[in-house]
């Protein structure tokens, strides 16, 4: 049996010397050391040996197994090293190549306009106030002088969650919440930016969701002239120092008197063009003096205090400022469109 083991050792070592791939190496390991391999077959005859011979043959068998395993492990390490070298060469990086520039994003045009409007009004002493987009009927309508079944509600049809909960149609509820928070103290000077929702069909000039910024000022002896001066300063900082405004009488339930505000056409400067339909003016926002009932609902004495309010659509401002012809561009995630503003 000892001679068989020595012959097996020599045969296995000779076979292993010519191995050139991992699969062949694994096959030889199974052939000589596997459960049904050549070494196991020889050792099955151990039972016929005497008690004195078994330790001797056992030691020889262990030496044979050790010698074969040592060669197999050495071959495996060599194959793994060669594979690693080959992979490193294939994945080698040429550090002399110019670096790839990381794609750089930009601020969305609507956010740019919101930030610019906020900066203008902060410069005039205003604070920013925010409120929930899911609003109660009380804050969205009733506290703004729009009681149940008021016909003006039809102009602001929105998405109702329950009979008393809805997606806000304007950021005016933030004005009421601010008045309540102030508990009758003055002055109040806030702008209220945020998303609003109305049940509307999407087209070039309308969307069911858009951004709005409203402003509120309350104090003693606040007049319509203060409102006009504020808006004139705003449009001249937003559109240029030569921009002028005009106020046209209008109706809003929460202001009295109320007005629509036009600015001189940003394209023709007021001389008349297709953009302004040859009138020289473009409508930009609505405004007015805060209605006495709204002041009362907010906790202010209309006999002592007065105020003005205004509201503008951010998309409308952006369309005029950048000459955009379709509101849907703002929401299409078109990189070709958005990249224009990343450079500005």
The percent of residues in the chain predicted with pLDDT above 70, rounded, is 97
Question: What is this structure's pTM?
Answer: 0.68
Contact 314, 213 (CB under 8 A): yes
Mean pLDDT of 294-314: 96
The percent of residues in the chain predicted with pLDDT above 90, rounded, is 50
- Is pLDDT above 60 for 344? no
Residue 267, C-beta contacts closer than 8 angstroms, at least 6 positions apart: 273, 275, 276, 323
- Is pLDDT above 60 for 6? yes
Q: Specify the range with the lowest mean pLDDT, choosing from 13-17, 58-62, 237-241, 312-316.
A: 58-62
- Burial tier of 179 (Cβ tally within 10 Å: 0-12, 13-18, 19+): buried
CA–CA separation, 324 vs 334, rounded Å? Answer: 14
Enumerate domains of the chain plus CATH numbers. Answer: 1-91 (no CATH), 109-340 (3.30.930.10)
Per-residue model confidence as pLDDT tens digits over 88-116:
888 777 778 787 888 778 889 999 999 99
Name 288's bridge partners.
258, 309
Q: Give the model's confidence band at 197: pLDDT under 50 very low, under 70 low, under 90 confident, else very high.
A: very high
User: Residue 256's pLDDT is what?
Assistant: 95
Per-residue model confidence as pLDDT tens digits over 126-142:
999 999 999 999 999 99
Q: Which of 107, 106, 110 is nearest to 324 (CA)?
A: 110
Tell me if 256 is assigned to a ligand binding site. yes
Mean pLDDT across the chain, nearest whole number?
A: 88
- Is pLDDT above 70 for 10? yes
């Amino acid at each position: 049996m000892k001679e068989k083991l020595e012959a097996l050792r020599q045969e296995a070592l000779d076979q292993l010397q010519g191995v050139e791939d991992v699969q062949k190496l694994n096959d030889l390991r199974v052939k000589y050391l596997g459960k049904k391999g050549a070494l196991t077959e020889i050792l099955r005859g151990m039972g016929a040996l005497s008690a004195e011979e078994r330790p001797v043959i056992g030691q020889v068998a262990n030496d044979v197994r050790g010698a074969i395993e040592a060669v197999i492990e050495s071959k495996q390490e060599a194959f793994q090293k060669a594979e690693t070298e080959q992979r490193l060469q294939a994945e080698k990086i040429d550090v002399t190549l110019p670096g790839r520039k990381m794609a750089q994003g930009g601020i969305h045009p609507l956010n740019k306009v919101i930030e610019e409007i906020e900066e203008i009004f902060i410069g005039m002493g205003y604070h920013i106030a925010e409120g929930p987009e899911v609003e109660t009927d009380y804050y969205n309508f009733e506290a703004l002088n729009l009681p149940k079944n008021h016909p003006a509600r039809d102009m602001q049809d929105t998405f109702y969650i329950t009979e008393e909960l809805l997606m806000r149609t304007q950021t005016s509820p933030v004005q009421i919440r601010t008045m309540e928070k102030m508990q009758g103290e003055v002055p109040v000077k806030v702008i209220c930016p945020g998303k609003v929702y109305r049940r509307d069909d999407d087209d070039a000039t309308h969307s069911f969701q858009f951004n709005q910024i409203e402003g509120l000022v309350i104090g003693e002896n606040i007049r319509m002239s203060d409102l006009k001066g504020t808006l004139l300063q705003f449009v001249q900082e937003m559109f240029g120092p030569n921009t002028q405004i005009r106020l046209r009488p209008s109706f809003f339930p929460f202001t009295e008197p109320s007005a629509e505000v036009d600015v001189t056409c940003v394209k023709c400067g007021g001389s008349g063009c297709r953009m302004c339909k040859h009138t020289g003016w473009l409508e930009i926002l609505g405004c007015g003096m805060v209605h006495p009932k709204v002041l009362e609902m907010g906790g202010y004495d209309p006999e002592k205090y007065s105020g003005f309010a205004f509201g503008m659509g951010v998309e409308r401002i952006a369309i005029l400022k950048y000459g955009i012809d379709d509101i849907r561009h703002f929401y299409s995630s078109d990189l070709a469109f958005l990249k224009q503003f990343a450079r500005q």
